[in-house]
Chain A
Amino acid sequence: MERALGIELLRGALAGRSEIPTAEELQRLLGDVEVQLFLQEEDLPNELLEAAWYLHAVASVDRARERYTLHRQTQAFLVSAHIFDLALNRSDWTKEQRLSIGFASSIGYRRADREPNATAIMNRLRDDISIESPVDDHLETLALEVGVAFLGYETRTLLSWLTTWRRQLDAIARAMRRDDLTTTAYGTTHMVVLGADDLLAFLTRGERYRLQRARTRLRSAAVGEAGPGELNARWVAAHLLALSGEAEAGSVWNMDLVPPGIPDLARQAFTLGNPPVLTLWSPQRELLAVEPSPFDRATRRMVLAVPTSGGKTLMAQLLTVAHLASGNTSVCYVAPTRSLGREVRRSMASRVRLLQKETGYDQPDYPTLDDFIFGSLDAPPADVEVMTPERLLHMMRHDMGSVLETFGMFIFDEAQLIKESGRGFALEQVISALHYATRDSNHRIVLISAAMGNAGGIAEWISPHTPPVVFKSEWRGPRRLYAAFSTEADWESTRAESIRGRAWPYRLVTSLTGLIRLRLSDRRTARLEVTDTDWVMVRKARTPALKQSGLEKDQGRSTPLYRIASEMITDLGHAGPVLVVTTTRDDAQRLARGLADQFEEDPAFAPLADFVRVQLGDEHPLVDVLRRGVGYHHAGLPSEVLEALEDAVRDNGLPYLACTSTLTDGVNLPVRTVVIYDANSAWQDEEAQLRGARLVNAMGRAGRAGKETEGWIVVVRPQPASSNDFRLLDPTDDDLAVNSSLVTESALEEFAQLEQQLRQGQDAIFDAGSGAATDFVAFVWFMLTAEEDSGADPEEIDTDEIADATLASHQSANAGRRCRRIAAAVQEAYIATDSDARRRWARTGTSVGSAKTIDSLARRIVRAILDADWEGTLGPIDDPAYAIRFLRNIIDRLLALPENRKPWRLGAGRQGTDEQTVKPADLLVEWIEGVPLTQLASNHLGHMENGADRIELLVNTVTEYFEHYLAWTVGALIEIVNRRLDELESELRLCPELGGYIRYGVSDPGALMLMTSGIRSRRLAHAVVRDTPADLEASHEHLRNWLAGMGIAAWRDRYQASASEVLDLLEYTRLRSRSLVRSLLEAGSVEVDIPDLLESEWSGTLSLEPLHGEQHPAPLMVYSGRTAVATTSLHDHTDLMSVLETGLAIDVEIDDTEIPARLTISLAIR
């Protein structure tokens, strides 16, 4: 639990100092202020501020004077930073006071190990930092502005701000015919600007002489040698001087932290990348200081348990970059959802491109025969591949050898998902299989999780021989404040109404008030009452007696919880985005409605609402709530809509979002406030409840590192308040233990059942149905195949070792025994099966029983194809639509396999009959031909009145059956068919890409290329393909060139491309394996072609900017003042943007002596 301002910390900082509040008093005062903040009141008692300044004084004494211990000074910094942070909420400070308090808070956070909070402070004070105005208008506060800005560590803006200020002060010095302003009344400020600039240069580029010069300048400023007066400037200088030492120790340039073997370019990938990282946070530093070093190649197994906002992303990036920089194998990053995968790719890309390496794209989980490992044929393999566990498993099934040759490091994110029933074992399998296959090789495996109670045990699982590195940290940047909301009945207000009812002639109406309990950092609970409400509880009664108990509630007339909760939640929206996490989709929708009812429509939200309207239709309820600034998010909505909602929250464009755990488990979306809406806990099944790791994930979203210093977590429950409410938020290690999904009661029962069936006959292996036992059987079978493929004799393989490689065996002796026995039985069945067949079956990825079925279906199909061909009745089986129709009955059979847990019932309505009115094959054809979801829904589900229900049912169908299940099984089937046709030396092929077409909902090779190369929108893929000239070769290069030649305006015009679609296209048309930033850093300048020179003459300095007046993203143009002089190629767009985003000062020039004209960008000389 948060102990940021625990009493020990306060006592330590204050050390019993008299004349200022005692530790207890301070804690009480702080608690009071926390309550005020919640209520949006601004007051701050003077004594608190006095105490803060005292503590700042204690913390500030130069360490060389040895007056206070380091520990005490750190505590003093932390407490004072917190108080100053709270003080910033007052709106009556002057600019100078605000900057002073901001600097005092920031420096406290930086030097006491709460680094991201300093960035959050800078962001709050941005308006006080002046760049536009002439420097003499704000010279008195400039040093403070520099201090606050610097401490934000936001490289790209900081580089340009410091350059601006430097130039302005240089101009004054030149006018006085001097080098600088030292000895004058602004000498100290000048040295602060120059010193900060030098320090930043060291932190970004590692130039040591700049660090030395920074120290010299800051020191002279601090001791008053640079000029008279200027108290604030001397104060800032002294602290930056002290910080320079600490920053150096935590920077990527510290060779003790990031070892010498890592090249400079890899370090710059962090300081100049996106987001920029100048110093590592303390958990990251701790990790890197672990022995043996995580960077050491000999460290082959690692388990990292670090909370969200604790920098785990950065740790993964550090490990990845280090691995890529020092070897020639690739990194495989496993993320559980597409959305998380995309996030990882995005953030990894900026780091990795600087090394001129690439991150791969989203690929189908179920590859086709020809190009299965690497996606498209003409794209070289990526250096970092981000994928789901299912895809990795599939790759391993097909060619374990290549997988192990290509990848030298495997990183598994969200490893706690092992415990989920269903998907959990897939993750466990992959890890077990990898561990088994690499137990004696150099491959490295890293498991990362925010919520793992038994990290040590997990680490032992994957490294019984070599010592594992286990790293646990609880550190977070932003603090968290906890509140619990409940209702209280005002019994005195009860009144009786008589109604015309026979059984219940009376109603008792009781008013309700709200109760918010805040848990303060001193462990006290503050109670806030919400009294002026119109909430009521209505109960049915036989008599009008006012005091009755045990009566039934009238649900229809009592104020529903969601409405009560909504009214309370809207009081929280002022501070930043609010995420309301519920357990069911219905709750999410209802809550969103309740919230929306309190607001008017606001035109600011129109674009988002319109986008959704186009996707889902006018009547979909999401559209109306969005117009009011409220959204809801769950798996019954198409991914384009979900992504748009997530992006809107990220950009602060959607204040309220209700969601299910689909979001909190699968998307990285930090917000200011998380509301846990636990409406049905009493009678809901355990899996669905928000508990344990799921709850930790949800709570972890509160407080965005770098944006705010505090996040709020509010629990809303329909029960009366109890002391348990807060305990719920404090899961124990036991709650968070990651246990194999195979050690549950039900799993062990399935195992027992299988064993019993096996006693009757070996075939039981093939009949196992679906469930834990079946999954395990498939795992063993796969392992046997892998071993056989690498030359082992199946009869000699030690199945005990295979069984022991699972987490289940490691955690339970009982499970271990059963696993061994079953593994042995599987081996028998394996040996008894024909050698080709048994290997074919392993590749499908289904249970062995289903693989057998698919295999025989495939044979039938092959026969049917050859027969029809002989008879001359065979149609174009390479055409996807024809192929689907050809397979229509087979598709029904595939849907009937036990893997498909929900029988196909489309057309039956939510609670309908079993009547099947829509044939899967028909819907599938429309799906791949690009028919929009809304139309599919109205075509086939018109009998359903509710438009939202139609869409939801259709989205569920498409997601579950098409995008996953059928894509996978049809793909597997077709692979077997085509292999067989190949063996029989036939030239016929049954649409090889069909699995991919089904997965992405397209029917053209060009469209499939687009969808597997970063284009996310099916609609866009279809639109582009419809538009391509018939004679355009179907290769990436040609498609890219053709698209790039068109221009952003054409994309918008011809395809109605939205902003995110344009970004995807820009990314697609980017030139591969080239990094302009890298070339700039190495060579000092880069050149690109200019497609169109718009002017033949220009004067003055040139600059590179997005086209003026165009919405984002806009093409980059070369400007001379306000005149556009030249265009840039779309191929170069993303790369040029990366250059601009580093913030490095550049000079832009055009050389038009040749054709095409050339654009030169060089690093500005200081």
Chain B
Amino acid sequence: MPTTQPVLTSLLSLTPGPVSSAVQYAIGGQALSAADFAAATHILADDTMRLRLGDASDVLTSWRDKRDGGPDHTPLRRRTIEVYARIGFGLPGKPSHKDHLEGHVAELLWHRLMTERTVCSGGRQLAYIPPLKADTTEPGGDGLAVYRIGNGTLVFRLWEIKKHDSSARISATIRRASEQLKLRGEEYLAKLAAPETVADDEVAELFKEVVELWLDGNDRGGVGVSVGTSAAHAPSGPNTFGSILTAFPHYSAPGQTESIVVAVPDFPAFAIRVREIVWSGL
């Protein structure tokens, strides 16, 4: 797994909760300064375009140049960039819906933070992150992370990613996320079963078992809930995350239940800004 510099983690000052908390959580972003806001949104936009364009470096360069104030593209180049830029963001004149935009940015945050977090509590080392499953009915999606623990065994965490932007308390969103994970975890794992067992390696060995391990509540498994939200909704303490343990009582060992909450001052504005940056390169 290629390592990524923990830039976003430190920009957001992602801070773990108390050790005594049953659910291992971390919250960040409440005190985001304007400069850090700019840097964070820049990283997300740049990162996602880089990943989307793969090794089409000339196209990436084109996009960056325009973003940084360069000249307009040829119509063909512009159209090409649009094909990739529109994922999750839509295009100027046909933007994606506010909720979906925020859900998409929540996913980008999760993905970036997870890849930066190469070592977790207890010495878990990040081994692999398969593709996300975006939810088409409500904003957010499912994610998975595979870790190697001390004795070399691979373990996994199944994540539910959401955004929260309502007057209700964030704990409601977290509870809903836990319940959905319980209900729909199989579907995500089922879609991974075929592709992830083709290769003849360790990860494939894990995936050939993963749905049984999940239903068994085996201690190689675990769950996480990630929420992108505004600072006003930031969780007050460990109790906010109680519903995760209620939904998964068998995941009682330390580190088996996790949460990451990014609570920037104004999450909708944050999301919009990421999109603006992406569009600025069109």
Contacts and interface: CB of A to CB of B under 8 A. Distances in A.
Interface of A: 17-20, 46, 50, 53-54, 56-58, 60-62, 64-65, 67, 94-97, 100, 104, 136, 139-140, 172, 175-178, 182-187, 219, 222-224, 227-232, 234-235, 237-239, 241-242
Nearest to B200: A64
Contacts of B77: 175
B186 interface: yes
Contact of A62 (B130, B190, B204, B215): B204
Give the one of A94, A187, A224, A231 with max B CB within 10 A.
Answer: A231
Interface in B201-253: 204-205, 207-209, 211-212, 215-216
Nearest to B51: A228
Nearest to A240: B194
A175 B76 contact: yes
A183 B56 contact: yes
**Most B C-beta atoms less than 10 A away, residue of A175, A177, A227:** A175
A698 B199 CA distance: 50
B269 interface: no
Nearest to A68: B208
B183 to A, nearest CB: 6
B167 interface: no
A54 B215 CA distance: 9
Contacts of A172: 80, 83
A50 B195 contact: no
B31 interface: no
A1121 to B, nearest CB: 24
A20 B194 contact: no
Contact of B132 (A184, A231, A235): A231
A235 B194 contact: yes
Interface in B81-100: 82-84, 86-87
B215 A19 contact: yes
Interface in B156-215: 183, 186-187, 189-195, 197-200, 204-205, 207-209, 211-212, 215
Nearest to B183: A46
Contacts of B209: 67
Contacts of A177: 58
A183 B51 CA distance: 9
Interface of B: 51-56, 58-59, 76-77, 79-80, 82-84, 86-87, 130-133, 136-137, 183, 186-187, 189-195, 197-200, 204-205, 207-209, 211-212, 215-216
Given A53-B187, A231-B132, A234-B131, A17 B198 contact: no
Interface of B is mostly: helix
Contacts of A100: 191
6 contacts: A56-B190, A60-B193, A62-B197, A64-B197, A104-B190, A136-B86
A939 to B, nearest CB: 69
A587 B225 CA distance: 66
A901 to B, nearest CB: 65
Nearest to A63: B197
A139 B83 contact: yes
Nearest to B204: A65
B223 to A, nearest CB: 15
A53 B186 contact: yes
Given A64-B200, A65-B208, A228-B54, A235 B76 contact: no
B132 A229 contact: yes
A61 B131 contact: no
The 3 lowest CB-CB distance pairs between A and B, nearest first, are A183-B54, A238-B194, A57-B190
Contact of A53 (B55, B56, B86, B190): B190
B189 A136 contact: no
Contacts of A19: 215-216
Contacts of A238: 194-195, 197-198
Contact of B136 (A94, A104, A183): A94
Contacts of A234: 131, 195
A178 B56 CA distance: 8
A20 B214 CA distance: 12
B131 A136 contact: no
Contact of B54 (A20, A58, A64, A185): A185
Contacts of A186: 83-84
Contact of B211 (A57, A62, A178, A183): A57
A176 B56 contact: yes
Contacts of B55: 183
Nearest to B199: A223
B84 A184 contact: yes
A136 B195 contact: no
Nearest to B212: A17
Given A61-B207, A96-B136, A228-B54, 15 more contacts: A53-B187, A53-B190, A57-B190, A61-B193, A176-B80, A184-B53, A185-B53, A185-B84, A223-B198, A228-B51, A231-B130, A231-B191, A234-B131, A234-B195, A242-B194
Nearest to A241: B198
A62 B194 contact: yes
B137 A94 contact: yes
Contact of B131 (A20, A53, A96, A229): A229
A59 B47 CA distance: 36
Contacts of B76: 175
A53 B183 CA distance: 11
Contacts of B130: 224, 231
B86 to A, nearest CB: 7
Given A237-B195, A239-B194, A224 B204 contact: no
A170 to B, nearest CB: 13
B251 to A, nearest CB: 14
B141 to A, nearest CB: 9
Contacts of A182: 54
A590 B136 CA distance: 51
Nearest to B87: A185
A58 B194 CA distance: 9
B186 to A, nearest CB: 4
Contact of A228 (B131, B183, B205): B131
B181 to A, nearest CB: 12
Nearest to B201: A223
A50 B80 CA distance: 40
Contact of A57 (B56, B79, B186): B186
Nearest to A55: B190
Contacts of B137: 94, 97
A54 B186 contact: yes
A183 B57 CA distance: 11
Contacts of B133: 231
A97 B55 CA distance: 31
Given A17-B215, A175-B80, A222 B194 contact: yes
Nearest to A232: B191
Contact of B87 (A50, A96, A140, A222): A140
B198 A184 contact: no
A219 B198 contact: yes
A261 B162 CA distance: 62
A64 B205 CA distance: 11
Nearest to A228: B51
Given A184-B56, A187-B54, A231-B191, A58 B136 contact: no
A64 to B, nearest CB: 7
A224 B193 CA distance: 13
Contacts of B192: 231, 235
Contacts of B212: 17
Contacts of B197: 60-62, 64-65, 238
Contacts of B87: 140, 185
Given A54-B190, A231-B131, A62 B80 contact: no
A354 B159 CA distance: 57
Contact of A136 (B82, B194, B198): B82
A224 B79 CA distance: 26
A17 B217 CA distance: 13
B54 A227 contact: yes
A109 to B, nearest CB: 16
Contacts of B194: 60-62, 222, 235, 238-239, 242
A176 to B, nearest CB: 5
Contact of A230 (B131, B199, B211, B216): B131
